[in-house]
């Protein structure tokens, strides 16, 4: 894959580092390949990096050299996300306080932890769609009831599916709820499961390493250790492969975490090796170093080690849903662990519950449920063949899965 000037501009506009600023200036001054500004706007928003790009264009003092329409779009997006940030943090504090009053500890994860710990220098630089809170599994139903009393209502959706249709690594939290403010909460009983080793990052593990922070309003919040936070972010976008469109944002997350807590890098890598995906975590750190230090000439897939290249190419991809479907398909057919359970997962996809069948087909099968069951396998094959069975996606996901388990030499990171 050859990277265009547009690709390199995106890669260079994510981190607030001098090497990135030089690459941005060099792309404007030296590149014979024109930058597609409309693509920059669309893709930066798609990868949830528009606010970071605007911030770094200002820091590099080249904001006036980009088209006015792009500046206007970035400014509008920044204002929206800054307002969302303030509402999000306020609502997080309200929920955490309500749980604490009931004697329930809740630990923010991912974006919520980054915002409440104030890793980013400005409100709105870090986007977040949901408010993820980790709860002791023994108290999670009680916490869910409190959320309901606070006005959080369960989101609509196809809830009639058989539980076996969902892979074990997909069952991390209760059904999402939306509050009156528009914030969506997900109450987690674990942070994640690394599917290939069936290894959970549990509430009790994170709680044992968590630290307290006092919020501006005087409230107390428990936050995951920087190592746990970094581990979760890498798993979320680069290992689980269900949110690959946010990999560029994850590199920014890691930059801000490790800038404040340099020792967290070593701790995260040790945890990743323990879990079994050090083969992805180590190239992730090496890629972060590359983006932090290299010049424009070195930002070339022909000059970058293959494991770093595949992470960057996945980060630049605009087909994350197809990649996610491929990852799920390969996990369904991975019979190396619990083959009977995996077979039950597959059979449940075809022989789904009657209520789910009617959710899928409605009046089309009102006269005969059997018609729905006959139609179901063909629809599954049709929906997966174009996306999940794409040869390019299959090769990429298989390579990333193999990478995860690699025990590489401890190179300098």
- Report yes or no on 410 lying in a domain: no
115 pLDDT above the threshold of 90:
yes
Domain extent at residue 338:
325-404
- The residue out of 324, 339, 356 marking a domain boundary is 324
373 pLDDT above the threshold of 80:
no
Tell me the pairing of strands 106-108 and 130-135: antiparallel
Residues 247 and 164 in one domain: yes
360 pLDDT above the threshold of 70:
no
CA 161 – CA 164 distance, rounded (Å): 8
300 pLDDT above the threshold of 50:
yes
What confidence tier does 366 reach under pLDDT thresholds 50, 70, 90? low
Residues 193 and 272 in one domain: yes
Residues 193 and 332 in one domain: no
DSSP at 238: I
pTM here is 0.89
| Backbone Cα Rg of the chain | 22
100 pLDDT above the threshold of 50:
yes
Please provide the average confidence, as pLDDT, over all residues in the chain: 89
Residues 320 and 332 in one domain: no
Choice between 19 and 350, residue whose per-residue pLDDT is larger: 19
CA 78 – CA 125 distance, rounded (Å): 8
What confidence tier does 397 reach under pLDDT thresholds 50, 70, 90? very high
Q: Which tens digits make up the pLDDT trace of 50-67?
A: 999 999 999 999 999 999
**CATH code of residue 61:** 3.30.460.40
pLDDT above 90: percentage of residues in the chain? 72
Q: Which tens digits make up the pLDDT trace of 173-226?
A: 999 999 998 999 999 999 999 999 999 999 999 999 999 999 888 889 999 999
- Rounded mean pLDDT of 91-105? 96
Domain total in the chain: 2
Inter-residue contact 287 to 315 (CB < 8 Å): no
Residues 262 and 392 in one domain: no
- Report yes or no on 64 lying in a domain: yes
Residues 320 and 336 in one domain: no
Q: How many CA atoms lie within 13 A of 352 on its CB side?
A: 25
- Rounded mean pLDDT of 355-362? 66
Q: Which tens digits make up the pLDDT trace of 2-14?
A: 899 999 999 999 9
Residue 305 backbone dihedrals phi, psi, to 5 degrees:
-55, 145
Contact partners, residue 258, CB within 8 Å, separation at least 6: 226, 230, 264, 265, 288
Task: Identify the pLDDT of residue 381.
Answer: 59
What confidence tier does 407 reach under pLDDT thresholds 50, 70, 90? low
Task: Identify the pLDDT of residue 413.
Answer: 57
Residues 51 and 193 in one domain: yes
- Report yes or no on 413 lying in a domain: no
- The residue out of 324, 343, 377 marking a domain boundary is 324
338 pLDDT above the threshold of 80:
no
- Report yes or no on 412 lying in a domain: no
Task: Give the residue among 208, 181, 165 at the shortest CA–CA distance from 91.
Answer: 181
pLDDT above 70: percentage of residues in the chain? 85
Instruction: Output the CA–CA distances (angstroms, integers) from residue 342 to 34, 100, 407, in the order listed.
Output: 49, 39, 27
CA 78 – CA 57 distance, rounded (Å): 13
Residues 227 and 343 in one domain: no
Residues 231 and 298 in one domain: yes
- Report yes or no on 218 lying in a domain: yes
310 pLDDT above the threshold of 80:
yes
Task: Give the residue among 59, 55, 75 at the shortest CA–CA distance from 67.
Answer: 75
Task: Identify the pLDDT of residue 162.
Answer: 46
Residues 197 and 332 in one domain: no
- Report yes or no on 13 lying in a domain: yes
Residues 304 and 174 in one domain: yes
What confidence tier does 359 reach under pLDDT thresholds 50, 70, 90? low
- The residue out of 324, 359, 384 marking a domain boundary is 324
Task: Identify the pLDDT of residue 127.
Answer: 93
364 pLDDT above the threshold of 80:
no
Residues 165 and 267 in one domain: yes
What confidence tier does 298 reach under pLDDT thresholds 50, 70, 90? very high
CA 135 – CA 132 distance, rounded (Å): 10
Task: Identify the pLDDT of residue 172.
Answer: 94
């Amino acid at each position: 894959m050859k990277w265009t000037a547009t690709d390199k501009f995106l890669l260079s506009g994510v981190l607030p580092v001098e090497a990135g600023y030089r690459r941005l200036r060099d792309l404007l001054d030296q590149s014979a390949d024109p930058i597609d500004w409309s693509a920059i706007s669309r893709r930066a928003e798609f990868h949830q990096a528009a606010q970071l790009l605007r911030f770094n264009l200002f820091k590099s003092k080249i904001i006036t050299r980009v088209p006015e329409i792009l500046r206007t779009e970035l400014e509008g997006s920044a204002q929206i996300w800054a307002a969302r940030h303030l509402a999000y943090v306020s609502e997080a504090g309200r929920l955490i306080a309500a749980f604490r009053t009931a004697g329930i500890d809740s630990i923010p994860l991912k974006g919520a932890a980054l915002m409440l710990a104030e890793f980013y220098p400005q409100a709105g630089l870090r986007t977040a769609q949901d408010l993820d809170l980790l709860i002791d599994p023994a108290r999670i139903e009680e916490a869910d009831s409190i959320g309901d009393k606070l006005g959080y209502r369960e989101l609509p959706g196809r809830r009639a599916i058989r539980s076996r249709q969902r892979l074990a690594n997909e069952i991390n939290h209760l059904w999402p709820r939306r509050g009156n403010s528009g914030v969506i909460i997900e109450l987690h009983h674990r942070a994640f499961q690394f599917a290939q080793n069936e290894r959970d990052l549990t509430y009790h593990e994170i709680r044992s390493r968590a630290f307290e922070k006092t919020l501006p309003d005087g409230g107390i919040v428990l936050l995951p250790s920087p190592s746990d936070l970094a581990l979760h972010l890498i798993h979320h976008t680069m290992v689980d492969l269900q949110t690959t469109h946010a990999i560029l944002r994850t590199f920014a997350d890691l930059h801000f975490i490790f800038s404040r807590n340099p020792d967290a890098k070593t701790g995260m890598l040790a945890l990743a090796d323990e879990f079994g995906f050090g083969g992805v975590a180590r190239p992730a750190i090496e890629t972060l170093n590359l983006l932090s230090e290299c010049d424009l000439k070195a930002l070339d897939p022909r000059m970058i080690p293959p494991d770093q290249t595949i992470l960057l190419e996945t980060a630049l991809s605009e087909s994350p849903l197809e990649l996610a479907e491929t990852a799920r398909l390969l996990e369904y057919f991975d019979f190396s662990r619990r083959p009977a359970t995996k077979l039950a997962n597959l059979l449940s996809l075809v022989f789904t519950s009657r209520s789910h069948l009617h959710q899928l087909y409605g009046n089309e099968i009102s006269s005969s449920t059997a018609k729905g069951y006959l139609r179901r396998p063909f629809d599954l094959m049709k929906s997966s063949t174009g996306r999940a069975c794409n040869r390019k996606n299959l090769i990429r996901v298989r390579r990333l899965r193999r990478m995860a388990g690699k025990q590489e030499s401890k190179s300098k990171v």
